[in-house]
Chain A
Amino acid sequence: EDQVTQSPEALRLQEGESSSLNCSYTVSGLRGLFWYRQDPGKGPEFLFTLYSAGEEKEKERLKATLTKKESFLHITAPKPEDSATYLCAVKPPPGGYNKLIFGAGTRLAVHP
């Protein structure tokens, strides 16, 4: 069965303390891996799409990378406003968004 597992479940960082969030998946023939940020009571905000192993995307303090079995979201010198839940989702074959598999998310708290 296709699965997406995110770790850790929760992460507490000091401001400026860089770290990485992990998203591992068992899907074969990945049609896309997506990262989202979700603030409490809000909808997920689209961050990145990755399609193939070795691909990297960056946005401000965030950098997403992809291998054949997992993706990492690296957060460099985080600030308190980066506190949120980060979700990853994978699109298995044949590729419809109705088949997206979401992970349970990593709750990130950045303290000043």
Chain B
Amino acid sequence: EAGVTQSPTHLIKTRGQQATLRCSPISGHTSVYWYQQALGLGLQFLLWYDEGEERNRGNFPPRFSGRQFPNYSSELNVNALELEDSALYLCASTLSSGDGLHFGNGTRLTVT
């Protein structure tokens, strides 16, 4: 069974640009979660998508947005990038009645 896949692995952007990160959940999983893991900080919840709808968002500004496609894959968009957006962005999936979140290996975003 293929795990959660994320692309790209690394992304380098300059301040003010936009970044798009992609995630494919485990086959059969309908819920996708996005987390930010900044250096020295714990995992911070960003967004939750289920059945194509945004269900909840964490304490992040509106320039963090995303969507979930009919095949349950998901995209995270970060507009007007700031230096402090540099972090590992993790996508996780689970069944609605699932037993734990399963994470991908993340996208390392560097903003210069």
- Contact at A98–B101, with CB atoms within 8 Å? no
Q: Does A104 contact B (CB under 8 A)?
A: yes
A51 to B90, CA, bound (A): 25
- Chain B residues with CB under 8 A of A49: 99-100
Which parts of B13-51 form the interface with A (CB within 8 Å)? 31, 33, 42-43, 45, 48
- Contact at A43–B106, with CB atoms within 8 Å? yes
- Chain A residues with CB under 8 A of B48: 96-98
- Chain A residues with CB under 8 A of B101: 34, 46, 97, 100
- Contact at B42–A43, with CB atoms within 8 Å? no
Q: Does B67 contact A (CB under 8 A)?
A: no
- Chain A interface residue number, banded: 20 to 34
A100 to B48, CA, bound (A): 12
A46 to B100, CA, bound (A): 7
Known pairs A42-B106, A43-B104; A98 contacts B42 (CB<8 A): no
- Contact at B105–A98, with CB atoms within 8 Å? no
- Contact at B102–A102, with CB atoms within 8 Å? no
Q: Does A41 contact B (CB under 8 A)?
A: yes
Q: Does A78 contact B (CB under 8 A)?
A: no
- Contact at B45–A46, with CB atoms within 8 Å? no
- Contact at B45–A98, with CB atoms within 8 Å? yes
